């Protein structure tokens, strides 16, 4: 299940059609994820610069280190230029810029500070452009189908974690159990997978007090009765990622656990109900987090409601008070408000949502209600 060469060619043509609106004759893409998106050249990213030049007219040029030459030649891009190695003589970006002197109005998508200092000295008229980042905000039908498949496997990772808990496996072993079982299914179901350096899964299984760390580190801790468990996973299909995260309670919950759980669940539900076309990210974030605030647990908030999903685990838009992006059909976001009680436990569900014409739809469908979160344990 991969995007086709024709899909990437259409994306390149769409980029070309938008260059005039940006006042550009060409754009140089340096962000690896934008290169993935525009031409489908997947590679193991290192410090070595890659570039994709897309002119307003004509064919793109792919700039790669010599060690990527043969892989680059397997893509549909015919004009491949390569340098020996990083940092290069002349420096790689200087070499790229020297090859595109004919473009008077040149854009670039991303530069680090030192790169900017060098590039702006050579091309003071160069323009930073968000053109491709903006295109990536809204996914088309092919991308959504891939992410729905990824969501299926993200849910499977959660379900396999439940099995691992019943087997009394420690955090690390539970994660490895869930990953091994799920990847086995992925290989049987889909055959060839795009196995770039991002891998096919990520996440963590955290028991008890460890779950109070939103990005906690796993250990050999065993599950214990009364634990709050945070099982959070991302699964990647053709390098697009969906996430499914789940809070389990080991044994019958007490009054305090119920209060925390219900506040988190209410926030998760409110975020999903608020996520619809025409609403800003900031408004959706407020709808979700206000539930936790109104329950009296604001001091346990540690993060926003969510973020965009796609080629990157975290990408724009940001479901946070400072992002006033208006949601549009085809945007894909996470819904993951949480509360974290130090020394006690963390409570967070996460689903991957696609914005539809009238609201949103879950791409992950693991049941989130309380009865599905209690694991008999003694």
Segment 230-239 mean pLDDT? 95
List, for residues 48-57, the tens digit of each pLDDT value. Answer: 999 999 999 9
pLDDT of residue 339: 98
**What are the structural domains of the chain?**
5-136 (3.40.350.10), 138-375 (3.90.230.10)
Q: How confident is the model over 149-192, as pLDDT tens digits?
A: 999 999 999 999 999 999 999 999 999 999 999 999 998 888 76
Model pLDDT, residue 197: 58
Q: Is the dihedral of CA 176, 201, 300, 265 positive or negative?
A: negative
DSSP assignment of 38-81: HH-------SS--EEEEESSS--EEEEEGGGHHHHTTSS--EEE
Category of 315 on φ-ψ map: left (φ > 0), alpha (ψ -120 to 50) or beta: beta
Cβ(105)–Cβ(23) below 8 Å: yes
Among the listed residues 369, 179, 214, the one whose alpha carbon sits nearest the alpha carbon of residue 306: 214
pLDDT of residue 128: 95
Tokens of 169: 């496996």
| Residue 35: how many other CB atoms lie within 10 Å | 23
At residue 46, the pLDDT reads 87
**pLDDT greater than 80 at residue 358:** yes
Short-list 18, 49, 8, CA closest to 32: 49
For residue 195, pLDDT beyond 70: no
Instruction: Write out pLDDT tens, residues 86-143.
Output: 999 999 999 999 999 999 999 999 999 889 988 888 899 999 999 999 999 999 999 9
What pLDDT is stored for residue 44 in this prediction? 78
Per-residue model confidence (pLDDT) at position 193? 60
Q: How many CA atoms lie within 13 A of 324 on its CB side?
A: 0
């Amino acid at each position: 299940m991969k995007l086709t060469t024709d899909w990437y060619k259409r994306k390149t043509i769409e980029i070309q059609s938008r260059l005039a609106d940006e006042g550009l004759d060409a754009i140089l893409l340096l962000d690896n994820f934008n290169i993935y998106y525009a031409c489908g050249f997947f590679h193991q990213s290192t410090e070595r610069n890659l570039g994709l030049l897309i002119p307003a007219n004509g064919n793109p040029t792919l700039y790669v280190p010599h060690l990527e030459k043969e892989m680059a030649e397997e893509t549909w891009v015919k004009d491949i230029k390569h340098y020996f190695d990083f940092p290069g003589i002349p420096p790689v970006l200087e070499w790229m810029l020297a090859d595109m002197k004919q473009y008077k109005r040149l854009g670039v998508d991303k530069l680090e500070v030192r790169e900017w200092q060098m590039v702006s000295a050579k091309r003071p008229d160069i323009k930073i452009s968000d053109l491709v980042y903006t295109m990536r905000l809204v996914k088309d039908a092919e991308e959504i189908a891939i992410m729905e498949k990824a969501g299926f496997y993200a849910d499977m990772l959660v379900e396999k974690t439940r099995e691992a808990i019943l087997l009394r496996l420690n955090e690390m072993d539970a994660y490895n159990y869930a990953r091994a079982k799920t990847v086995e299914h992925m290989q049987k179901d889909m055959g060839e997978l795009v196995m770039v350096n991002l891998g096919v899964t990520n996440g963590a299984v955290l028991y008890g007090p460890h779950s109070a760390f939103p990005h906690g580190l796993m250990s050999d801790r065993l599950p214990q009765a009364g634990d709050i468990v945070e099982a959070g996973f991302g699964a990647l299909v053709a390098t697009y990622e969906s996430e499914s995260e789940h809070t389990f309670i080991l044994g019958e919950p007490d009054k305090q656990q119920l209060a925390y759980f219900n506040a988190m669940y209410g926030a998760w539900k409110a975020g999903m109900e608020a996520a619809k076309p025409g609403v800003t990210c900031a408004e959706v974030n407020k709808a979700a987090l206000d539930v936790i605030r109104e329950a009296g647990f604001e001091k346990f908030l540690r993060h926003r409601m969510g973020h965009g999903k796609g080629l990157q685990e975290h990408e724009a838009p940001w479901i946070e008070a400072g992002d006033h992006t208006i949601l549009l059909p085809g945007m894909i976001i996470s819904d993951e408000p949480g509360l974290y009680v130090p020394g006690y436990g963390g409570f967070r569900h996460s689903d991957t949502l696609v914005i539809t014409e009238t609201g949103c739809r879950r791409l992950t469908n693991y049941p989130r209600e309380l009865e599905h979160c209690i694991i008999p344990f003694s």
